[in-house]
Amino acid sequence: MLQIIYYVIISVFALFLLYNIVKKRPFAELVCIAFVLVTFALRALHIK
């Protein structure tokens, strides 16, 4: 149950990051968003 809730939390945060990465931003900020997004997305895919 807790795994599912954490999956939901990571997925919600990842979707918001995805929404923000498509906006025009300075390069350094885009790198930051991409780094966090990739980590969140990969971890979300790993949750069993």
Partner 1 sequence: MRNEIWVALVMFLISIGGSVATRNDRKWSVFFLFLAAVAGSLVAGMGIRFREIVEGPFGFLDSMLCVCAASVLVMLLDRCGAFAYLADRICAIGNSTLRAFAVLLFIAFPAMLTGFAGSSLLTTGRIVKERAEGTDPKKMHLTVCVGAFIGVVLPPNCIPAMIAANGAGSVLPTPYAGFFLPLLLIGLPAFIAYALINRKALASVGKAEKKEVKGMVPVLVVLGLTVVVVIMDGVFASVLYLGGNTLVFFVASVLILIVWRGAGSAKAAFDAVSDGIMKAVVPMAVVFALGSFIEVSSMTGVRGLFSYVILPYSTTAVMLVLMAAALGIGFFLALPIPAFLITYAVFPIGWLANSVIVAGCSTVLAVVALVTCRGGIAGCGKDGTRSMDVLKEAWLPVALVLVVGVVFVVCGDSLTFLIR
The answer to the question of residue 9 lying near partner 1 (CB under 8 A) is yes
Among 3, 4, 5, 22, binds partner 1 (CB under 8 A): 5
- Indicate whether 4 belongs to the interface with partner 1 (CB under 8 A): no
Q: Helix crossing, 2-21 with 27-46: angle to 10°?
A: 150
Q: What is the dihedral of CA 48, 19, 33, 15, to 10 degrees?
A: -10
Q: Does 32 bind partner 1 (CB under 8 A)?
A: yes
Interacting residue with partner 1 among 7, 11, 22, 38 (CB under 8 A): 38
